[in-house]
Amino acid sequence: MHLLLAIILVALTYWKGDWRNWQKYAPTIQYVIISNLLYNYFCHDFLLWEYKGDLLQEKHNIVDLVYTFIILPCITLIFLTQYPYFKAKLSQARYILYWVAGSMLVEFIMIYYKRLLLNNGFEYWMDFFFYIVMYSLIRLHHTRPIRTYFISILVIVFLLWHFQVPL
């Protein structure tokens, strides 16, 4: 399922992404990659969500590399390319909520087929808030990266504290 998701997203990104101006989005894509790598660094022995492989029962690390370097960059490029920058704040909020709903639907399917496990107190309903923060920070990073780094540090500290992640 993870490989199918990656293929679908690569195709969608090719179709809907702004490949001609990829340099404009590269810093935010790097931010997303680094954020996911930091999650895996801090939570390597205390995963809140864990991917289960499809082919040959790969370990979480291999599947997570696909998410880190293929799936999340594709999502970021499509999200930013299609973002309604010059529309009303309500339209922008609605756009983020569509992405939150879509992400939760994909995650629900992954959980249902046991390709994603939620661990250590992290529950499915929490993803609603997680995705709101994630997509909001992706959008904010695109225009105000320094502010985003500060907010990201606060979010990381809160999540490490809330889930009592042993460092």
Angle (deg, nearest 10), helices 126-143 and 22-42: 140
The whole-number pLDDT of residue 159 equals: 96
The whole-number pLDDT of residue 62 equals: 85
CA distances from 150 to 36, 146, 157 (A): 17, 7, 11
User: 50: helix, coil or strand?
Assistant: strand
Of the chain, the percentage scoring pLDDT greater than 90 comes to 89
Domain residue spans of the chain: 24-162
pTM listed for this prediction: 0.94
* Dihedral in degrees, nearest 10, Cα atoms 30, 34, 35, 40: 150
Mean pLDDT of the chain: 94
Q: CA 8, CA 85: separation in Å to the nearest integer?
A: 25
Chain segment 42-101, per-residue pLDDT in tens: 999 999 999 988 775 667 688 999 999 999 999 999 999 999 999 999 999 999 999 999
Kindly report the length of the chain.
167
* Residue 133 backbone phi and psi in degrees, to 5: -65, -45
